[in-house]
Amino acid sequence: MSVEGIIREFMATRVSNPVESDFAQQLREWIEAFDDVVVADGPEQGAELLTALKQRAREAGISQGSELTTPYVNTIPKHEEVPYPGDRKLERRIEALIRWNAMAMVHGQNKKDHGIGGHIATYSSLATLLEVGFNHFFHATYGDQPGDFVYFQGHASPGIYARAFLLGRLDEQRILNFRHELRDTPGLSSYPHPWLMPDFWRFPTVSMGIGPLNAVYQARFMRYLENRGLIEKTPRKIWAFVGDGETDEVDTLGALSLGRREKLDNLIFVVNCNLQRLDGPVRGNARIIDELEAVFLGAGWNVIKVIWGSDWDELFERDHTGLLLKRMEECVDGEYQAFKAKGGAYIRKEFFGKYPELLKLVEHMTDDEIFHLHRGGHDARKIYNAYKRAVEHKGGPTVILAKTVKGYGLGSTQARNASHQEKKVADDALVDFIRRYDLPIPEEDARAGKLYRPSAEAPEMVYMQARRQGLGGYMPRRDVPKIDLTAPKPDTFAEWTAGSKGRAVSTTMGFVSMLRALMKDPRIGKLVVPIVPDEGRTFGLESAIKQVGIYASEGQKYKPHDVDMLLSYREEKDGQILEEGITEAGSMASFTAAGTGYSNYLVPTIPFYMYYSMFGFQRVGDMMWAFADARGKGFLMAGTAGRTTMTGEGLQHQDGHSHLLMSVIPTCLSYDPAYVYELAVILQNGLKRMYEDGEDVFYYITMYNEDYAMPEMPKGVEEGIVRGIYKLKAGASGKAAAQLFGSGPILNEVLRAQQILAEKYGVETDVWSVTSYNELRREALGVERWNRLHPADAEKTPYIVSVLAKAKGPVIAATDYMKAVPDQLSPWLTSRLLSLGTDGFGRSDNREHLRRHFEVNAESVVAATLSKLARDGKFDTKKAQKAMSELGVDPERGDPAHI
Ligand SMILES: Cc1ncc(C[n+]2csc(CCOP(=O)(O)OP(=O)(O)O)c2C)c(N)n1
Ligand SMILES: [Mg+2]
């Protein structure tokens, strides 16, 4: 824009204007002086001048709006670039081969098996961004430590497989089994799943948003381990490749401020800005790069934009009008997408054609040359320079915003709204592809979509191997080490299995004291990672805070107000507790980093994530699923659990369903202990199974805040506790007419019911403590399956059936969770089971009223038992009906499940 144009625009929008004409003149002088500096001494001097002025303004107390979007050009100017260190000819060849094999793999599989799916457009846009990383940056090891971590865009996995194929890591048969995992020979999972390919993938990323969020916390966890002396300090980096559409997920951008706060210069995001997501443009009416630049800059990240390829540099140099940049800043992403979909003539007319000066700028170029003016994310030199800067940047995380083309190089499917789901390519398009990339594949083979791998001696293959060797080996790779750890023996927990000697305590208090003891254990103490989302006081963690401190990468820069108190707030550089603040998702990400430490750092950290039960699975369930996929280990400790045990807080706080939700994760063992000794047995067993025996499972344990006397552990109940049920208290005569199941604090109601039934109604019952319906069901399903598959063999008996073999009468099960939790055992208890649970919305009240409302108090258990016995013809029906009013149970009241 001309100087006068700027002045006119500026004056028109001015707020204060004392002496208008004078100011316009002043402006003119300042701008001209600034222009002189830029022309004479270069843009850096111009920038420095502005910085100095800003500093001066700040000193004078003059505030200005901060600028969060910079011009729509590359952050690194051409003259600051270093030359590309690789052999571009060979690298181009390698990239073309990977592109071909990725496409052939997806195409071939869909031809063979219609609708099996797969993606090529994502990888096509990402290929160069990954190749520069694989050839020059991604370290597989640092000495004896695993190297950099790379979170790949899940939908780009065909490219990763194709690369591994070329390197000889995956054979042809394996590639032919892409998305065919259930055949005679091993297959390839659709996306990154460590559960399915445990020596290959490290991080499950395909559920959008989870990868980037986990990456941020992984970077922080790496620092935590370094600061606590559990791993060496290394220059390791965490790279997260993120889709531009993926940034719409709140998870993707929600934890950015942590990166800045913790100065995570080990963290690099690369956002693949191909301007499209699944349905169409990410920001058709604006520019996603501008939006993301502002977000990341605002969060304090180092932002590097890689927008234009090297071939644009010459155009910029020749454009003295500033019109090229102006035109770029006029166009929105919807137009940029159309340019790449519609070809060179269209770009000439619609982009350059707007200004005669710009048309002139490209008059020497053919339409084809114009079409092939590269975007930054397809230019290895630009990418290399951005990565180099990112790796060298100190003091905070870096994001690289790389502009690419979705479906790049795929011919007619490039940059179309439907590109994302393109799987099959027309035969002619395959031939076009090999021509475009100059691949030595016979046309016939191209039409058939055959895989192609040059001989190992081919220069590009030798180069590819050498690059990886230079960087420490192949990637991705997941380490599966043998954990050399002995769990504390059961007698270590003697203090907690001995009972509370009449003192009323909660299972939560019991847990915290065990946790404190575990942290003192000479073998595993250091490995324990307690995690809390601002609920430490709720769980009584103050003493633990004093004991081991809260992790704070900068220590404690202030004197806490409670410094003179016994349990003061203690932050330490090597503090052990991760106090995450109010972020269950962030805490879950820390849990994931710590729960996979055994593989990612070869340090078997043992996370205990303590949180408000209600804010568990239903809030971060997808992350829990990913945790299981990643073969995570650890303990999810769900406090303030139980719909009627959590008093006062009401509907959105009372959890009566988490056990049901956690039952869906195959590797999650969930327990609902009533007593501290049960909890002790479960913890010991968990530590042994996960860290001594090496099982890839994790634990979900509900804890309560109801105080009551904890009994001493009866003899011989350990197996029952672990398997899910044991007999706690038999009826006095030994001839029980019914069996009462209780769990968590509701077990106390059941014990009271046993007493009322005996004393008031002359009905003897046995009481069982059920620690895990989920585990009982899983075992029974396993046995049942075996029986189904072996009809000629003697039938095996599920544990639940065998423990109840001699127990007579119906089973009345009461729980603080939905009836569906005990109902899981129905197939093996046929007509015997009657479940009492807390279906419905919670209420604010105390335990007495809540339990009456949800019909899980002792009186309701008594009434249900009598009713069931009456229905079975074992108790007088009239007496059963009358008992209701004696017990304060109103048969005509509304069903709590619906009110
Ligand atoms: C949580 C979640 N929601 C939806 C999807 C389905 N999905 C897969 S890819 C995709 C579009 C991705 O767009 P973008 O992040 O821009 O990546 P690109 O393929 O363009 O590189 C969607 C919606 C998913 N995988 N995860
Ligand atoms: Mg995209």
CB 244 near ligand 1, within 6 Å: yes
CB 420 near ligand 1, within 6 Å: yes
Q: How far is the CA of 211 from the centre of ligand 1 (A)?
A: 12
Instruction: Give the C-alpha separation, 780 to 827, whole Å.
Output: 9
Please name the residue ranges forming H helices in 60-120: 88-112
Confidence of residue 24 (pLDDT cuts 50, 70, 90): confident
CB 283 near ligand 1, within 6 Å: no
- For residue 571, pLDDT over 80 is answered with yes
Burial class (CB in 10 A: 0-12, 13-18, 19+), 836: buried
The better pLDDT of the pair 65, 876 is held by: 876
Is residue 670 a contact partner of residue 700, using CB atoms and an 8 Å limit? Answer: yes
CB 207 near ligand 1, within 6 Å: yes
Number of the ligand closest to the Cα of 245: 1
Ligand 1 nearest atom to the CA of residue 209, by list position: 1
Helix (H) or strand (E) holding 159: helix 157-166
Closest CA relative to residue 855, chosen from 838, 869, 842, 870: 838
Q: From residue 603, how far is each of 37, 135, 483, 596 by CA, in Å?
A: 56, 28, 8, 9
What pLDDT was estimated at residue 102? 97
Closest CA relative to residue 640, chosen from 627, 657, 653: 653
CB 626 near ligand 1, within 6 Å: no
Ligand 1 nearest atom to the CA of residue 245, by list position: 16
CB 277 near ligand 1, within 6 Å: yes
Q: Take atom 16 of ligand 1 and give the residue whose Cα is closest.
A: 245
791-837 tens-digit pLDDT? 999 999 999 999 999 999 999 999 999 999 999 999 999 889 999 99
Name, in order, each residue with C-beta under 8 angstroms of 678's C-beta and a sequence gap of 6 or more: 671, 721, 769, 771
- For residue 177, pLDDT over 80 is answered with yes
Instruction: Give the C-alpha separation, 248 to 280, whole Å.
Output: 14
Q: Which two tokens stand for residue 726?
A: 């044991």
Helix (H) or strand (E) holding 242: strand 238-243
Give the residue-averaged pLDDT of 527-549: 94
Q: Which of 416, 420, 421, 629 to mutate to test the pocket of ligand 1 (most atoms within 8 A of CB)?
A: 420
Buried-state track 863-889, b at ≥16 Cβ within 10 A, e below 16: bbbbbbbbeeeebeeeebeebbeebeb
> From the CB of residue 225, how many other CB atoms can be counted at a distance below 10 Å?
21
Q: How far is the CA of 274 from the centre of ligand 2 (A)?
A: 5
What pLDDT was estimated at residue 709? 98
Q: How far is the CA of 245 from the centre of ligand 2 (A)?
A: 5
CB 310 near ligand 1, within 6 Å: no
What pLDDT was estimated at residue 21? 66
Instruction: Give the C-alpha separation, 827 to 847, whole Å.
Output: 32
36-50 tens-digit pLDDT? 998 888 888 888 898
Q: How far is the CA of 74 from the centre of ligand 2 (A)?
A: 19
Confidence of residue 535 (pLDDT cuts 50, 70, 90): confident
Percent of the chain past pLDDT 90, that is, above it, reads: 87
650-696 tens-digit pLDDT? 999 999 999 999 999 999 999 999 999 999 999 999 999 999 999 99
Name, in order, each residue with C-beta under 8 angstroms of 172's C-beta and a sequence gap of 6 or more: 165, 451, 453
Name, in order, each residue with C-beta under 8 angstroms of 13's C-beta and a sequence gap of 6 or more: none
Buried-state track 384-404, b at ≥16 Cβ within 10 A, e below 16: bbbbbbbbeeeebbbbbbbbb
3-state secondary structure (DSSP) of residue 41 = helix
Instruction: Give the C-alpha separation, 83 to 93, whole Å.
Output: 19
Of the candidate ranges 492-496, 658-662, 733-737, 750-754, the one whose mean pLDDT is the lowest? 733-737
Q: Which of 124, 152, 269, 277 to mutate to test the pocket of ligand 1 (most atoms within 8 A of CB)?
A: 277
Confidence of residue 240 (pLDDT cuts 50, 70, 90): very high
Q: Take atom 12 of ligand 1 and give the residue whose Cα is closest.
A: 277
> From the CB of residue 562, how many other CB atoms can be counted at a distance below 10 Å?
12
CB 153 near ligand 1, within 6 Å: yes
CB 422 near ligand 1, within 6 Å: no
Q: Take atom 13 of ligand 1 and give the residue whose Cα is closest.
A: 277
Confidence of residue 1 (pLDDT cuts 50, 70, 90): low
CB 245 near ligand 1, within 6 Å: yes
Q: How far is the CA of 247 from the centre of ligand 1 (A)?
A: 10
The better pLDDT of the pair 452, 26 is held by: 452
- For residue 6, pLDDT over 90 is answered with no
Closest CA relative to residue 455, chosen from 464, 443, 468: 464
Q: Which of 191, 246, 291, 416 to mutate to test the pocket of ligand 1 (most atoms within 8 A of CB)?
A: 246
What pLDDT was estimated at residue 419? 85
Ligand 1 nearest atom to the CA of residue 247, by list position: 15
Cis geometry, peptide bond prior to residue 476 (ω within 30 degrees of 0): yes
333-386 tens-digit pLDDT? 999 999 999 999 999 999 999 999 999 999 999 999 999 999 999 999 999 999
- For residue 518, pLDDT over 90 is answered with yes
Q: From residue 795, how far is each of 368, 779, 783, 791, 792 by CA, in Å?
A: 74, 15, 9, 8, 9
Ligand 1 nearest atom to the CA of residue 282, by list position: 16
Q: How far is the CA of 271 from the centre of ligand 2 (A)?
A: 9
